[in-house]
Amino acid sequence: MSEQQVSDILFQSNVKRPIADYVPGFWGDLFLNYDFDEMAHDRRKQRLEELKEEVRRELLAYADHPLKQMSLIDVIQCLDVGYHFETEIEEALRGVYILYTSNHYNHEDENLYNVSLFFRILRQNGFKVSSGKSVIVSKLRMRSV
């Protein structure tokens, strides 16, 4: 028998194939009847822009407080929304890096957490920071004695 004859026989036969008895899903047709609300979407989009501007203002407000600025940058990056603020974070880190590597930085409030925060954030963002900054390490050693 040729393929054509076999397919004709299969097509002409009135074989009833069993149909599975599927139970309706828990969610029903909730996702099939999704109605997109343009106004609600616009309100959310506007709120998002307002919040982004608020975060930008916070980053600028902490320009005189490098530790607070680094903590805010850490939170922004941990929440994985840093891509919204790439230029602001880059500018802030550049300023902190210059201040941190110069002799104008106040090292009085440094502890191991703060030093590691500065080191980690600067290194993660491509700044070359020595892992053994002698002035800070010696001050931390003097405090622990």
* pLDDT single digits (tens) 54-76: 999 999 999 888 889 999 999 99
CATH of the domain spanning 65-145: 1.50.10.130
CA atoms of 131 and 110, how far apart (whole Å): 15
Output phi, psi for 46, to 5 deg: -65, -40
Q: Has residue 133 got a pLDDT over 60?
A: no
Percent of the chain with pLDDT strictly greater than 70: 68
- Domains of the chain, by residue range, sit at 65-145
pLDDT for 16-46, tens place per residue? Answer: 666 777 777 777 666 666 677 899 999 999 9
In the structure, what pLDDT confidence band is assigned to residue 110 with cuts at 50, 70 and 90?
A: confident
Q: Who has greater pLDDT, 41 or 144? A: 41
Output the pLDDT for position 140.
56
Higher confidence at residue 28 or residue 85?
Answer: 85
- The predicted model gives 98-110 an average pLDDT of 70
E strand or H helix that includes residue 75: helix 66-78
Torsion of CA 123, 129, 130, 134, to 10 degrees: -120
Q: Which two tokens stand for residue 73?
A: 């940058």
Please report the pLDDT score of residue 118 as a whole number: 86
In this prediction, residues 109-138 reach a mean pLDDT of 77
